[in-house]
Structure 1
Amino acid sequence: MIGSFGLVGLVSILAAPGIGRLVDRLGSDQIVAAGVTCTALGVLLLGLWPTSLVGLSLGLVAVDLGVQGSFVANQTRIYALDPAARSRMSGQLFFTAYLGAALCSIAISLFWSQWQWPGTCVFALVLASIALLLERRTWLPSTRRS
Structure 2
Amino acid sequence: MPRGGARAVSGPAPDPNALRRERKTDAAGWRTLPADGRDGEAPEWPLTEATEREWDLWLDLWEKPQAVMWDEMGQALEVALFVRTLTEAERVDARVDIKKMVRSYLDSLGLSVQGMLRNRWKIAPAAPAPVESSARPAVRRPSARDRLKVVPSGEGA
> TM class by shorter-chain length?
under 0.3
More helix by share: 1
TM-score in terms of structure 2 length: 0.24
TM-score in terms of structure 1 length: 0.26
